[in-house]
Structure 1
Amino acid sequence: MANASYRGFTLQTAKQSADIWQVRIKNHVLSGNLAAVKKSIDWWCDTASLIDPSEFESVGKAREVQGSKEENFNGFTLKNDTGQANGWYCFFNGRLIKGSKLALQKHIEAHLLAKQRAAAQQRK
């Protein structure tokens, strides 16, 4: 049985499974996945009310995205997590830019062209 501590509470794995964690708060034993149990502890510390970890069952689970896409364009990674036409984004020169895929591509191309022109001007 594994033990851990979180915000002053002792967490223990349940005997039947290593994925199920338990915590005792005010003579109540709460059990669930680790992220949900921690969320219940946070809720108790913030509001002094008990919420069963099953209420937070989606916490800690990987988000399943239907339309997730990723594309490399001139060395920049364009991503779309939502599947929507204007849901594309890219980290460009340390900043996050968002919009349609075509708009992001045009922005990147314009920057690369300006960079090439500046380099050509310096050579002259």
Structure 2
Amino acid sequence: MANASYRGFTLQTAKQSPDIWQVRIKTHVLSGNLAAVKKSIDWWCDTASLIDPSEFESVGKAREAASSAAAEDHFNGFTLKNDTGEANAWYCFFNGRLIKGSKLALQKHIEAYLIAKQRAEAQQRK
């Protein structure tokens, strides 16, 4: 049985499975995966109310599903990324700044910048 400490609480693995962790808060014993149990402890420390770790287990799964929807595209030397899969959740580091919006809007912004840059360079040559 493994032991760990988190925010002043002692965590122990359950006898049935090394993946199930338990913590005693006052008279209640909470059990679940390690991340969910830690989230329950955080919740207790922040709000003084108990939330069962099973409530937080679905949060980790939703985050994994969202990361599987991640997309990346390269456009004129810039990397456009979307971590959530939503249409307007694209972002790009552009000239040292973070720009966000739809993929098409980011592409138009980059194209406009590149055209303006080419015109400025052409005028300097004259």
TM bin (shorter chain):
0.7 to 0.9
Instruction: Compute the displacement of 1:43 (Å).
Output: 1.7
Rate the CA distance shift 1:99–1:35 in 2: closer, same or farther, 3 A: same
Is the 1:65–1:81 contact (alpha carbons within 8 Å) kept by the matching residues of 2?
Answer: no
RMSD: 2.7
The TM-score, its normalising length taken from structure 1, stands at: 0.76
After superposing the two structures, state which structure 1 stretch, 81-90 or 97-106, moved more: 81-90
Instruction: Compute the displacement of 1:65 (Å).
Output: 4.9
Rate the CA distance shift 1:49–1:82 in 2: closer, same or farther, 3 A: closer
Q: Which residue of 1 aligns with 2:23?
A: 23
The TM-score, its normalising length taken from structure 2, stands at: 0.75
- In the alignment, structure 1 segments of 5+ residues that lack a partner are none
CA offsets per residue over residues 31-83 of structure 1, 9 Å max, x none? 01112111111121122222211122223335255797x21111222233454
- In the alignment, structure 2 segments of 5+ residues that lack a partner are none
CA offsets per residue over residues 61-111 of structure 1, 9 Å max, x none? 35255797x211112222334545434322222322222322211211222
- Secondary structure of 2:64 counterpart: coil
Distance in structure 2 (CA, Å) of the matches to 1:31 and 1:101: 43
Rate the CA distance shift 1:119–1:3 in 2: closer, same or farther, 3 A: farther
Rate the CA distance shift 1:107–1:63 in 2: closer, same or farther, 3 A: same
Distance in structure 2 (CA, Å) of the matches to 1:42 and 1:33: 14
Distance in structure 1 (CA, Å) of the matches to 2:13 and 2:109: 51
Distance in structure 1 (CA, Å) of the matches to 2:67 and 2:7: 38
How much identity, in percent, do the aligned residues show?
90
- Secondary structure of 1:114 counterpart: helix
Is the 1:35–1:59 contact (alpha carbons within 8 Å) kept by the matching residues of 2?
Answer: no
Distance in structure 1 (CA, Å) of the matches to 2:9 and 2:66: 38
